[in-house]
Amino acid sequence: MSASTKRLFSQTGKYALLTVVLALFAGPLAWMLSTMLKTKAETYKAPPSLLPESLNFESFNRLFEVQPLMWRWIGNSFIISILVVIGVILSSSIVAYGFSRFSNKYKNRLFPIVLMTMMIPPSVMMIPSYVLFTKLHWVDTWLPLIVPAWLGGAYYIFLFRQFFMSIPHELDEATYLDGGNRWTVFSRVILPLSKPIVMTTVIFAFVNTWLDFLGPFLYIKNNEMFTLSVGLQLLIGQTSQDFPALAAGAFISIVPIGLLFLFAQRYIVEGVMLTGSKG
């Protein structure tokens, strides 16, 4: 067998494997989009068809008719997600700045402790957290979902710290010579140069909050304060036989995430690559 033939078989095998992987990941999404555009009658046909007979957007009308609180739930999810993103960026970046720039004999001992907190399963902290927030009278409010984000997150502190360590210290010294202080270095030198890791954190924090079901389900009891993830679960019980409406709700839930990844995906690659450039 010639070298060109071997190369052809190799390339064919690679593309075949990529096609299978693409089908596994994109298949459910394609089926959801197809179901969303079908009528209720089409979803019960056997055998099922992938493509709808005609483009039909009545599923969205039925979705909002069955659950008038949909717009409120979408707004709630946006408000909570945005506040969490702001809190994560401010708190985690400030803590990471201290770990990366300050000289302290305890710094190298405290940072591993911060990383060790990532190994604690969330289920272990569920009951103590609920008891704490109950005593603070925060249950049935958004505070348990928002306030912890303003106290820093170990994973985001790690990302920021690693990125900050890749920024030359000579820039700090030049700022001090110009009359700046530590806050000037952080706000006017470090953060402006950290756009990739800031955008990476925005995406991760937004997606995790937007898709979070357990937190809102555990702490919020008022239907009007639900997030979209909890509202969609409630919707399953109300329209369990209306598959196009359920698919429409699922589509609404993934649109913000898709747009966020579409416009900021290059920052994810750049940010994650640069966090590993220094230890």
Domain ranges (residues) in the chain: 3-60, 62-275
Q: Measure the CA–CA gap between 138 and 87, rounded to whole angstroms.
A: 18
**What pLDDT sits at residue 49?**
78
Pull the structure tokens for residue 88.
């994560």
Confidence tier at 279 by pLDDT (50, 70, 90): very low
Q: What angle do CA 59, 260, 79 make, to 5 degrees?
A: 75
> Is 83 in contact with 146 (CB distance < 8 Å)?
yes
Alpha-carbon torsion angle 211, 216, 222, 228, nearest 10: 0
Is the pLDDT at 87 greater than 90, yes or no? yes
Whether domain 62-275 has CATH 1.10.3720.10: yes
Is the pLDDT at 71 greater than 60, yes or no? yes
Q: Give the position of tokens 């483009």.
A: 55
Report yes or no on whether pTM surpasses 0.75: yes
Q: Measure the CA–CA gap between 107 and 177, rounded to whole angstroms.
A: 26
